[in-house]
Every structure is written in structure tokens, then in C-alpha cells.
Amino acid sequence: NAGVTQTPKFRVLKTGQSMTLLCAQDMNHEYMYWYRQDPGMGLRLIHYSVGEGTTAKGEVPDGYNVSRLKKQNFLLGLESAAPSQTSVYFCASSSDLQETQYFGPGTRLLVL
């Protein structure tokens, strides 16, 4: 099992460009999450999903959109990137809320 995978690993964008980050899990988990990690801020939840076809806002959703068309995939979109979105993005999945969250290796995004 690959667990949770994320693509790409690293990306540089110019302000105003768009991109999609892909998260895939092969554990048949219902719950999937997108976090951003910034120095001194810990892990902040952007959006999450409690099952295929569902999405919900987390703590810092502005400027991001998500989709969960397939149970195994959770996409994070940036429609118009801003320098404030420079961060490391982590995807995670779990079988239930109060069970282990399995994290991907992260995507480092730099917005110039």
C-alpha cells in the first residue's frame, strides 16, 4: 500500500496563476483533509471531506476550493495564487474522526 500520496512535491507559481494539488489514498478512508503548515502556526485545516461527494470548510478556507469526486482522491485548487499562500500543504486521511490520520509527504508551494 502506498498510503497517502501527494502531487506535485514542489511547485513555484506566479501571483495570479492557478493550480491543483492532488491527494490520493489507497486505504479506503472516508475522511480526507487538507492542511497548510507555516512556521510557528502549526497545522491549520483548510478544507475537509467526510465522504465521497462532500466537502466542508476548515479554519483557513479563503482562496482555496476542493473537490472529492472519488473516494480515494481529494483535490485542492488555488484559482488565483497569492504570496500569502506560500506554504507546505499536507493531505491526510482517516477512517473516522477520532482515528489515526495518515499524512502524505507534503507539497511545498512558493508563490512569487
Partner 1 sequence: GENVEQHPSTLSVQEGDSAVIKCTYSDSASNYFPWYKQELGKGPQLIIDIRSNVGEKKDQRIAVTLNKTAKHFSLHITETQPEDSAVYFCAASESSGDKLTFGTGTRLAVRP
Beta-strand relationship, 10-13 and 107-111: parallel
Q: SS3 for the chain, per residue?
A: CCCEEEECCEEEECCCCCEEEEEEECCCCCEEEEEEEECCCEEEEEEEECCCCCCEECCCCCCCEEECCCCCEEEEEECCCCHHHCEEEEEEEECCCCCCCEECCCEEEEEC
Site map 57..86 versus partner 1, x via CB under 8 A = -xx---------------------------
DSSP 8-state code for residue 84: G
According to CB under 8 A, which one of 12, 27, 82, 97 is a site residue for partner 1? 97
Beta-strand relationship, 65-67 and 56-57: unpaired
Residue 90 makes contact with partner 1 by CB under 8 A: yes
Residue 98 makes contact with partner 1 by CB under 8 A: yes
Q: Which stretch binds partner 1 (CB under 8 A): 14-22, 60-68, 79-87, 92-100?
A: 92-100
According to CB under 8 A, which one of 45, 65, 67, 86 is a site residue for partner 1? 45
Residue 100 makes contact with partner 1 by CB under 8 A: yes
According to CB under 8 A, which one of 25, 85, 93, 101 is a site residue for partner 1? 101
List residues near partner 1 by CB under 8 A.
4, 31, 33, 35, 40-45, 48, 50, 56, 58-59, 90, 92, 97-98, 100-101, 103-106
